[in-house]
């Protein structure tokens, strides 16, 4: 189950073809990709996947994944199942933040600063209650830059199937 993968991600070292190595600062889309990859393959992705593999465009992947979900309103959020992937987009449906409902029903993710009413951690892991989503109206969220956005919920099975064909 995807919820068993959610948690702090160990340091990931990425290397360029010229041999320069650096530690990856995990962002929200990368964390969701990491957990989905780990669930799909049974092992987490290695550093090269972030540079030379399909995971190198995690924003594009999460934007595409959002299309497989449904738009969620403020009244829907309480009923979402654990393991649901949440993609917060701008009004043109470009992914701006991705997180996952963990086994306690908390919003879990990385780099969740200014997305919720409770503070997040820059390039670090944090959890938030579903009631901490910033809403502009019943159907639109408030992005971390104060602009309006949308929230899409992708059930775990659909998200893992998406990973099967895109990761």
Q: What is the mean pLDDT of residues 8-22?
A: 85
**Band (152; pLDDT cuts 50, 70, 90):** very high
Residue 48: is its pLDDT beyond 80? yes
Q: 16 or 77: whose pLDDT is higher?
A: 77
> Could you read off the pLDDT of 81-97 as tens digits, one per residue?
999 999 999 999 999 99
Q: Percentage of the chain with pLDDT > 70?
A: 99
Task: Spell out the residues 6+ positions from residue 58 whose beta carbon is closer than 8 angstroms to its own.
Answer: 27, 29, 30, 32, 33
Residue 126: is its pLDDT beyond 80? yes
Q: How many CB atoms lie within 10 A of CB 95?
A: 23
Residue 15: is its pLDDT beyond 90? no
Complete DSSP assignment for the chain? -GGGT-SPPPP-EEE-TTS-EEE----HHHHHHHHHHHHHHSSPPPTHHHHTSGGGGHHHHHHHHHTTSEE--TTTGGGPPTT-EEEEE-TT--EEEEEEE-TTS-EEEES-TTTBSS---TTSEEEE-GGGB-BSSSS-EE-TTS-EEEEEEE-HHHHHHHHHHH-
Residue 14's DSSP bridge partners are 22
**Band (22; pLDDT cuts 50, 70, 90):** confident
How does the average pLDDT of the chain come out, rounded? Answer: 94
Residue 66: is its pLDDT beyond 80? yes
Q: What is the mean pLDDT of residues 121-146?
A: 95
When mean pLDDT is compared across 51-55, 81-85, 157-161, the lowest value belongs to 51-55
- Residue with token string 């964390």: 31
Q: What is the mean pLDDT of residues 23-42?
A: 95
Residue 50: is its pLDDT beyond 90? no
Q: Percentage of the chain with pLDDT > 90?
A: 83
- pTM value > 0.85: yes
């Amino acid at each position: 189950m995807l919820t068993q993968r959610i948690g702090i991600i160990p340091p990931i070292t990425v290397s360029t073809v010229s041999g320069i190595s650096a530690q990856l600062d995990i962002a929200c889309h990368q964390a969701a990709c990491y957990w989905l990859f780990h669930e799909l393959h049974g092992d987490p992705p290695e550093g090269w996947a972030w540079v030379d593999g399909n995971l190198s465009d995690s924003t594009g992947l999460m934007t595409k994944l959002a299309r497989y979900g449904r738009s969620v309103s403020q009244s829907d959020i309480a009923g979402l199942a654990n393991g649901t992937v949440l993609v917060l987009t701008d009004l043109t449906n470009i992914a701006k933040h991705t997180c996952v409902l963990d086994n306690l029903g908390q919003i879990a993710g990385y780099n969740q600063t200014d997305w919720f009413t409770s503070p997040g951690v820059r390039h670090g892991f944090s959890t938030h209650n579903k009631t901490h989503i910033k809403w502009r109206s019943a159907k639109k969220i408030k992005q971390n830059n104060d602009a309006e956005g949308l929230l899409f919920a992708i059930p775990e099975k659909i998200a893992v199937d998406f990973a099967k064909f895109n990761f």
